[in-house]
Amino acid sequence: MSSIGKIFTIVNLVLAAAFLGWAISALNTANNFKADLEKAETQIKTLTASKDGQINELSAKVANATDALSKAISERDGFKAQNENLRTEVDSARRQNEAFAGTLSALDANVKTYNEKLDSLQGSKDRAQAEAKEALTRLADVRETLQTKELALRDANDAIAKAAADGEEMAAKLVAATKKAEKNQTLLAQVVAMTGVSLADITAQPQIDAAVLAVKSDVQPGLVMLNAGKDKNVSTGMTFHVYSGSTYKGSVRVENVQATMCSAIVTTAVPGAAMFQGDNASTRL
């Protein structure tokens, strides 16, 4: 082989070796690039997923923020309306306060007037209390007197009840006494005629005044209760004449004497002039 041929052969070998080295280097580079590419794709996918998550999160936050903004705007509008209402109420309250201030001044004047009237009424009250105390004292005295009279009336009613129980016996005694009185009257007339002594001197008895406490007409000839008894020296058989003012109503004779009262039977009754509680009675007219 010629020298040129050898040179070309060597050159070809060198070139072939260089190409092989380059091919090997290129293959290694390609393998490294592929690995880097796969790594880059993986990173891109990871970043894409992360960005999508962030985007979704941000979208949710934006939606929440939008809702919050809408709610805040609504609340702001509500607060604004409330503020207007409160301002209106404040203005109204201010006007009312001014009116109340005038009313308060008038009330202060009224209170002063009322206090003056109260002082006057207190004085009247003190006087009224003193008068009431005095009236209560008088009332106590009246009640005591009334109680005494009620006790006397009770005793009178008891006496009337006793006399009513003895009514028939008294009626029989009255008949007998009437007959005896008529006989004695005849004898007395004879004595007066024979002696000439005044009848007034014979029959004189002390002056005793009384009042009729009760009258019981259903017992014949009638029963009368008088408020004079042993305390006025009343004795059985005394005759009381009953009258009211200038009207003479008849006479009664004492049958039963108690401490402060007596019971008597009617001996003379004036027609049309009935005896009643409250009439006057006297042993002499």
- In a domain, residue 238? The reply is yes
Write down the residue that tokens 């592929």 correspond to.
Answer: 34
pLDDT at position 191 is 45
Domain assignment of residue 98, yes or no: yes
> Per the domain annotation, does 136 fall within a domain?
no
pLDDT attached to residue 91: 83
Angle at 191 between CA 189 and CA 196, to 5 degrees: 95
Query: Has residue 140 been placed in a domain?
Result: no
Token couple for 211 = 């009042």
Q: Contact at 8 Å (CB) between 277 and 214? A: yes
**Cα angle, residue 147 at apex, residues 143 and 152 outer, rounded to 5°:** 150
pLDDT for res 258: 96
Domain assignment present for residue 89? The answer is yes
Res 249: pLDDT: 94
Tell me which residue has tokens 């690039």.
33
Q: Are residues 171 and 241 in the same domain?
A: yes
Looking at the fold, whether 125 and 172 belong to one and the same domain comes out as: no
Position 130 scores a pLDDT of 87
Q: What is the pLDDT of residue 197?
A: 45
CATH of the domain at 234: 2.40.10.340
Residue type (1 letter), 228: A
Do 162 and 227 fall into the same domain? yes
Q: What pLDDT does 170 receive?
A: 60
Q: Could you say which of 131, 165, 196 is where a domain stops?
A: 131
Report if residue 51 sits inside a domain: yes
- What is the Cα–Cα distance from 69 to 77, expressed in whole angstroms? 12
| Domain boundaries, position 176 | 147-282
Residue 151 sits in the same domain as residue 124: no
- Please indicate, yes or no, whether residues 92 and 46 belong to a single structural domain of this protein: yes
Q: What's the pLDDT score for residue 211?
A: 97
Asked if 104 and 55 sit in the same domain, the reply is yes
121: CB partners within 8 A, 6+ apart = none
The reply to whether 141 falls in a domain is no
Task: Indicate whether 275 and 157 sit together in one domain.
Answer: yes
* pLDDT (0 to 100) of residue 212: 97
Distance separating alpha carbons of residues 42 and 229, to the nearest angstrom: 147
CA nearest to 285, candidates 260, 236, 250 = 250
Quick check: is 137 in a domain? no
Same domain? 278 vs 151: yes
Neighbours of 232 (CB within 10 A): 17
Q: Are 164 and 100 found together in one domain?
A: no
Pair (109, 153) in one structural domain: no
For residue 209, the tally of other CB atoms under 10 A from its CB is: 14
Among residues 131, 161, 186, the one where a domain terminates is 131
Residue-by-residue pLDDT tens, the chain, 285 positions: 677 777 778 777 878 788 788 878 877 787 787 787 888 888 888 888 887 788 788 778 878 878 887 887 888 888 788 878 888 887 887 888 788 778 878 878 887 887 888 888 888 888 878 887 887 888 888 788 878 878 877 876 776 676 566 556 765 665 665 675 566 566 556 545 644 545 555 455 678 999 999 999 888 889 999 999 999 999 999 999 999 998 999 999 999 999 999 999 999 999 999 999 999 999 975
| Domain limit, last residue, from 97, 131, 165 | 131
205 and 177 both lie in a single domain: yes
The tally of domains found in the chain comes to 2
- pTM, full prediction: 0.34
115 and 153 part of one domain: no
3-state secondary structure the chain: CCHHHHHHHHHHHHHHHHHHHHHHHHHHHHHHHHHHHHHHHHHHHHHHHHHHHHHHHHHHHHHHHHHHHHHHHHHHHHHHHHHHHHHHHHHHHHHHHHHHHHHHHHHHHHHHHHHHHHHHHHHHHHHHHHHHHHHHHHHHHHHHHHHHHHHHHHHHHHHHHHHHHCHHHHHHHHHHHHHHHHHHHHHHHHHHHHHCCCHHHHHCCCCCEEEEEEEECCCCCCEEEECCCHHHCCCCCCEEEEEECCEEEEEEEEEEECCCCEEEEEEEECCCCCCCCCCEEECCC
